[in-house]
Amino acid sequence: MLLQKQCIEFVINAKPACRYAPKNKNSIKYRIWKVVVSTTFEYLIMVLIAFNTLLLMMKVNMLHVDLSVDSARRWRCARARPQQWRYEAT
């Protein structure tokens, strides 16, 4: 337990020894590096991840929209046949 605590504290307090930036400030590699290490880019990636999570949640939510009696009957019929592993809409 003590070793795990020390490991976690080390990871939390660890700082990079140096930042490797391209030497030529006029190159396209330097410009790309400058964009990638910016705070704006970090926030953009976080927003995209959150948006992707919301889209995935909406996809799952849309699977359960059709709650009609006919759909329940088809689901029970498909479930009664064990050789069919997935729901098949007719």
Q: Is 56 within a domain?
A: yes
DSSP assignment letter at 22 = -
Domain that holds residue 42: 23-80
Q: Is 88 within a domain?
A: no
Q: Is 32 within a domain?
A: yes
- The pLDDT of residue 51: 95
Q: Is 28 within a domain?
A: yes
Q: Is 16 within a domain?
A: no
As a whole number, mean pLDDT of residues 37-62 equals: 89
Q: Is 57 within a domain?
A: yes
Calpha distance 52→85 (Å, rounded): 28
pTM: 0.48
Q: Is 4 within a domain?
A: no
Q: Which pLDDT band, with edges at 50, 70 and 90, does 33 fall under?
A: very high
Q: Count structural domains, the chain.
A: 1
Check if the beta carbon of residue 73 is closer than 8 Å to that of residue 83: no
Q: List Cβ neighbours of 51 (8 Å cut-off, separation of 6 or more).
A: none
